[in-house]
Structure 1
Amino acid sequence: MNITTVTSRKILPTTLAAALAGILMVSGCSKQSDEKATADTPVETAEKTGSKTSSAAGQAHMDRLLISYADMAHAAYKDALETAKILQTAVNTYVETPTQANLDAAKAAYKAARQPYSQTEVFRFDEGFVTANEQRKIASTDSWEGQVNAWPLDEALIDYVSTNYEGKYNSQDNIINSDSITVGSIKQDTSTITPELLAEMTEIGGSEANVTTGYHAIEFMLWGQDTNGVAEGAGNRPFSDYLTTDGQCTSGESKNPEASVCERRGQYLKAATQLLVDDLTAMEAEWQPDSENTLRSDIMARKDKNSLHQIMYQMGSLALGELASDRIQVAFVTGSTEDEHECFSDLTHLSYANNARGIQNVFNGDYKTVAGKTIGGYGLKNYLVDTGNTEAADKLAADFAKVEAAFNVIVEKGEKENIKIDQMIATVGQGIKQGVTAEEQNKRRGWIETSITSLQELTAGIENAAKAVGIDNLDAGSQF
């Protein structure tokens, strides 16, 4: 199977890995135990015939895996919600009192909020697995995710950009500076900026680049456009863009005679942050223990059907189709900073590493909360060992060690040496123009290439493990 990106974002044809694929065949008891009772019940050593685990023992292992998975999802989304609330407080303070110190505090809160959220993305790829349920508030994580994390965005739709900006939206009118804008054949009233308006406008005119909501809209409103290309430096929006005194309000280097534009920026930033908090509140509720008509209750109800299939598909989809290909390889091959995941703030190195960590959390069965508590206790690694597939577990463990090492290098270079993804993805020619030798630029590109290769090998390990447990086709929907 080809695990390809399901973001509908632009994607470079790739031969990153051979197909992952399969029909899930898991035997188990038909009776569903209470979550807490199952989690607290000691699991006896499985009786095996060859590599096959007895039905009762196998179901007990599956129960532990799913409860651990759901607990980790709940903890990660709860952390994402709580850090988003801290971000909201910082944003409100900044909009009320625009100073450099308050802008820096809001940026720091954004950086902190991205850490747990980026680890939740492994739970995203559930389309084709979840059961339709009109009583459930969120149909699937994948359908929900776009409003929270869509990228890349056409920033010209939102606010001012540089004169040499190239995007699909090229009107001088934008949400910040106009009471109405026209996108294609659609005329949109933008006089009052609210969370509801931003949600309504995202992907307006049918363009996926018309992103008006989520983390990256907030990121743009805090940092502004990054005009440095592959050179050092992130966006540098001045705090005066939010000053609400006539004559002091700016749009970058330009001063505005009236402060209404700055007032509207504050309204936009607050509205986008409120919508993010609302969305994360809804998702955190979907994973609360003992809940009904939720994503958690749905995957628990499917433990005899496709739940294991879903988990392994999600791991492979994030590793290969999304992270290795859409998020890393596209930018790496083209040297395009516009395709960098967090191109305004230059925090992409952390997003990459936390995406990879999220996959590893599911494998190891532990998620470390912001407060330092470990949640989970039973991962895919444990399940493979307990079902007689130690060799597959060991291969995956070795693969994850390579992934972790690769991304540790990227994070260390970004955090300690200030060499960001912008500088790592630059072509040799681009690097030379910035005063970087060909040898040094090839070394930097090598860090990125190693991360892609490690994810390729990890995906092969997931494929191997899937076959070991009887899943020959990991494609979403192939389990039925």
Structure 2
Amino acid sequence: MTTTTVTSRKILPTTLAAALAGLLMVSGCTKQTAEDADTSADTQTEVQSTEAADDTQLSAADKAHTDRLMISYANMAHAAYKDSLDTAKALQTAVETYVATPTQANLDAAKAAYKAARQPYSQTEIFRFDEGFVTANDKREIGSIDSWEGQVNAWPLDEALIDYVSDSYEGEYSSQDNIINSDSITVGSVKQDTSTITPELLAEMNEIGGSEANVTTGYHAIEFMLWGQDTNGVGEGAGNRPVSDYVTKAGECTSGDTVNEDASICERRGEFLKAAAQLLVDDLTAMEAEWQPESENTLRSDLMARKYDNGLRQIMYQMGSLALGELASERMQVAFVTGSTEDEHECFSDLTHLSYANNARGIQNVFNGSYKTVAGKTVGGYGVKDYLIDTGNQEAADKLATDFANVEAAFNVLVEKAEKEGIKVDQMIATAGQVSDQGISAEEQNVRRSWIENSITSLQELTAGIENAAKAVGIDNLDADAGSQF
């Protein structure tokens, strides 16, 4: 495995409004809870060593409940980012093995490692919506999760900037020159030297020219390099990049159907894939450090310092914003209403159903106070549900528990249909007209679309429950992001 290096991070704006703007552009995919972990002696010390910003109106009992909630939340964040880091390292190892020895077995192993890496990371997105809460601190390496995640999880991406695409591809970047096939490219008024592909170069180029579609880093760049462009529209099948795209022998190196006499293109693909994997590991290493217990000048220490002030609001805001503004709206409703596979979250690999389900599970983890690690251990011990009950809000807790059960049931349908029956999200969001030539009746397609619609509706109802619970604990204006409205 490549030794992890410290790579300079390019901080990118990732507000929901900006995300929607990126979603509505033609982007790229050409596809028309084990043991309880209650507060330990160490974490008790952590709670007692931090001062509240404004705790004059909280009773001793309320402070105790808040302490348990914040510690549980922080421990879950640490465990989820640690899992994300560990699985990213496993992905990096698989990528390096594949690049060194490009065989179908090694490609399949790298794809499996990608799929495994996405499971814990997708559950961390509940922690993302923190931009308006964290305190400015020049000593902290990462300003906020929201400002950090653009280098890790930005989407959609304009794959024509990175590598070859089909002749029918329509994207913002239209030049025949790309990072893989050229030593220099021009994006708008920016001329970029791409002769040496490194993690630093990819970080520098992310969103080059001011376009959010010009993504060169993170999970989705790796996804594209493993699967390639999906040209199946709303039909069955994901991207199918051939192993020969990484064969570094003259006359055997390909770019899809094109055979290259010069194998340097395939060498550069390997360099890009390894650089993207290294940068991902670097970024997750930095974020895992932000949540370590007893740390100073970190996102964790910041949360603990203001836990009695806006900690509870932050957590409930994050729950509502991921449920409604991001997942139900930007990631699901946009694609559902338009029938656009361009807006499918993991359109190269067709693993969108798992990202959706794990995003929803991440919200539920915080409610239940329970994150199940990759190794099977339960981390947390105290969630929003417990806080509501302990503060005399049993009714609100029960309502939310019912809402979460409905969400879980709805998303289980998406996962089961995709994993067991091979009906993926791109096939579910298609309109009846889009699939008429595939022999799928309008009645059947409406059933498929109902699976997505039911999931969106369950999230909308969940958000109403979160807002109701927030009011019950004195937060009258939660103002969770509602995303785009149709």
Per the normalisation by structure 2, the TM-score is: 0.89
Work out whether 1:236 is the aligned partner of 2:251. no
Aligned to 2:320: 316
Question: For residue 278 of structure 1, what is the aligned residue in structure 2?
Answer: 282
Identity %: 81
What secondary structure, in the 3-state scheme, does the structure 2 residue paired with 1:10 have? helix
Please give the secondary structure, in 2, of the residue aligned with 1:8.
Answer: helix
Residue of structure 2 equivalent to 1:159: 163
**Equivalent AA in structure 2 for residue 168 of structure 1:** E
1:132 to 132, 136, 141: 136
CA drift of 1:34 comes to: 7.4
Shift of 1:124: 0.2
Give the C-alpha shift of residue 336 in structure 1. 1.0
User: In the alignment, is residue 9 of structure 1 matched against residue 13 of structure 2?
Assistant: no
2:123 is matched with: 119
The match for 1:446 among 436, 444, 450 is 450
Kindly provide the amino acid, as one letter, of the partner of residue 129 in structure 1. F
| Aligned-pair CA distance for 1:334 | 1.0
In the alignment, residue 479 of structure 2 is paired with which amino acid?
Answer: D
| Residue aligning to 1:199 | 203
Q: Confirm or deny that 1:36 pairs with 2:44.
A: yes
Change (3 A) 1:252 1:464: same
Q: What is the rounded CA distance, in whole Å, between the counterparts of 2:159 and 2:321 in structure 1?
A: 28
Are residues 1:61 and 2:65 paired? yes
Deviates more, 1:468-477 or 1:434-443: 468-477
2-side partners of 1:437 and 1:148: how far apart?
Answer: 39
The match for 2:426 is 422
2:476 is aligned with 1:468:
no
Query: What do the CA deviations read for 1:33-55 (whole angstroms, capped 9, x no partner)?
Result: 97334779xxxxxxxxxxxx970
* Pairs within 5 Å for 1:12-23: none
1:149 is the counterpart of 2:153: yes
2:378 maps to what in 1?
374
2:425 maps to a residue whose letter is: I
Distance in 1 (alpha carbons) for counterparts of 2:381 and 2:17: 30
Deviations 1:14-43 (A, max 9, x none): xxxxxxxxxxxxxxxxxxx97334779xxx
Q: How far apart, CA to CA, are the structure 2 residues paired with 1:433 and 1:289?
A: 57
* TM-aligned CA distance change 1:56 to 1:150, over 3 Å: same
Shift of 1:381: 0.2
TM-score normalized by the length of structure 1 = 0.90
Amino acid at match of 1:8: A
The 3-state SS of whatever aligns with 1:367 is strand
Compared CA separation, residues 411 and 153, structure 1 to 2 (3 A) = same
1:344-396 CA deviation, whole Å, 9 max, x = no partner? 00000000000000000000000000000000000000000000111111110
Q: Name which of 344, 351, 369 aligns with 2:348.
A: 344
Q: What is the CA-CA distance between 1:12 and the residue it aligns to?
A: 8.6
Write out per-residue CA displacement over residues 383-441 of structure 1, whole angstroms, 9 at most, x where no aligned residue: 00000111111110000000000000000000000000011000010121221111110
Corresponding letter in the other structure for 1:184: G
Q: Distance in 2 between the 1:97 and 1:349 partners?
A: 31
RMSD between aligned alpha carbons?
1.7
Give runs of aligned pairs for residues 406-417 of structure 1, distance below 5 A: 406-417=410-421
Q: Is the 8 A contact 1:38 1:60 kept in 2?
A: no
Letter in 2 for 1:430: Q
Tell me if structure 2 keeps the 8 A contact 1:181–1:189: yes
CA distance in structure 1 between the partners assigned to 2:90 and 2:410 by the alignment: 31
Structure 2 Cα separation of the partners of residues 215 and 169 of structure 1: 20
The 2-side partners of 1:416 and 1:300 are apart by 43
**Using the alignment, how far apart are the partners of 1:341 and 1:54 within structure 2?**
42
Deviation for aligned residue 1:7 = 4.8
5 Å-filtered alignment, 1:216-295, equals 216-295=220-299
Q: Is the 8 Å Cα contact of residues 425 and 448 (structure 1) preserved in structure 2?
A: yes
Cα distance change on mapping 1:160 and 1:150 into 2, 3 Å: same
Q: Which amino acid aligns with 1:264?
A: R
Q: Which structure 2 segments of 5+ residues have no match?
A: 1-14, 25-40, 49-56, 482-486
Q: What secondary structure, in the 3-state scheme, does the structure 2 residue paired with 1:346 have?
A: coil
Deviation at 1:8, TM superposition (A): 2.8
Change (3 A) 1:450 1:11: farther
- State the match for 1:45 in structure 2: none
Within the candidate set 72, 85, 101, 2:105 is matched to: 101
Matched, 1:86 2:102: no
**In 1, distance between residues paired with 2:255 and 2:275?**
19
One-letter amino acid of the counterpart of residue 9, structure 1: L
Gaps of 5+ in 1: 14-32, 41-52
**Equivalent position to 1:179, from 170, 174, 183:** 183
Write the deviation string for residues 140-174 of structure 1: whole angstroms up to 9, x where unpaired. 00000000000000000000000000000000000
Distance in 1 separating the partners of 2:438 and 2:268: 37
8 Å contact kept, 2:47–2:304: no
Residue 36 of structure 1 aligns with an amino acid whose one-letter code is Q
Aligned residues: 443
Q: Is 2:77 aligned against 1:73?
A: yes
Q: 2: distance between equivalents of 1:107 and 1:196? A: 24
- The one-letter amino acid of 1:213's match is T
What code does the residue aligned with 1:448 have? I
Distance 1:131 1:321 in 2: 23
Distance in 2, matches of 1:222 and 1:175, equals 16
Aligned partner (choices 393, 398, 405) of residue 401 of structure 1: 405
Q: Distance in 1 between matches of 2:337 and 2:440?
A: 18
Which secondary structure state, in structure 2, belongs to the residue aligned with residue 181 of structure 1?
Answer: strand
**Relative to 1, partners in 2 of residues 1:7 and 1:353: Cα closer, same or farther, differing over 3 Å?**
farther
Taking the aligned partners of 1:97 and 1:11, their CA distance within structure 2 comes to 36
Counterpart of 1:377, as a letter, is G
* Alpha-carbon distance in 2 for matches of 1:173, 1:217: 17
